[in-house]
Amino acid sequence: MFIRTKKIKGNDYAYLVENTWTNSGSRQKAKGYLGRVYAISPCKDETFLAKKEQDYLVTRKFSEILNDLIYFELQRHGFEKKGQVLENKDMSFDVKDMSIKKKGKPVVLKINQGFFCNQTVSTACSNYSGDMAYQLAERLTAAGIGIDQAMFVELVAKLKADHNDKDIKEEFKDFYY
């Protein structure tokens, strides 16, 4: 699946689209409406680890780092934290359900080279299997979350380590002495 934008009356709107095969060939089917697209530029030129303590990557789990990356990217684009919400003018990102809205309606932010929306953020935070490095790169890019190469390598290592810990716990959950 991928995101397709459509211009209606001068505004861009995003849809989740899936390719399907028919007797007549490939067709695209819209699976869902994601929201109006707003292109926003970064207002801060910072790197993620610039404000973190030296042992940050060692002491955090993959999910914590990923959440921090999401918050950082939004803050870099002008969002400010107010309680459990990050806000930018009349847009808000709810930390609990990882949803971004404008006046109560879902929206899509065109940031970096991707689309930051409920769909891409929840996909980035969901389960990984198989080629985890490829999946992580694809999901971060789709969500518009930019990180440098060194940070990506560290994040993949953390993802694999956390994944192996889960596999080991799952493997031994029914083991009794």
pLDDT in tens, 63-112: 888 988 999 999 999 999 888 899 998 999 998 888 999 999 999 999 99
Instruction: Give the residue numbers spanning the domain of 71.
Output: 2-20+27-171
CB 108 within 8 A of CB 117: yes
The pLDDT value given to residue 53? 67
When divided into structural domains, the chain yields a total of: 1
Residue 176: inside a domain: no
Task: Give the Cα separation of 30 and 15 in Å (integer).
Answer: 6
* d(C-alpha 78, C-alpha 38), whole Å: 13
Size of the chain in residues: 177
Question: Are 120 and 136 in contact, with CB atoms under 8 Å apart?
Answer: no
The reported pTM is 0.82
| Residue 177 within any structural domain of the chain | no
Q: Which long-range contacts (CB under 8 A, 24 or more apart) does 128-134 make?
A: 128/159, 128/163, 129/163, 132/156, 132/159, 132/160, 132/163
Specify if 135 maps to a domain. yes
Going by C-alpha positions, the residue among 123, 135, 133 that lies closest to residue 154 is 133
Instruction: For residue range 50-70, list pLDDT tens digits in order.
Output: 667 677 888 888 888 898 899
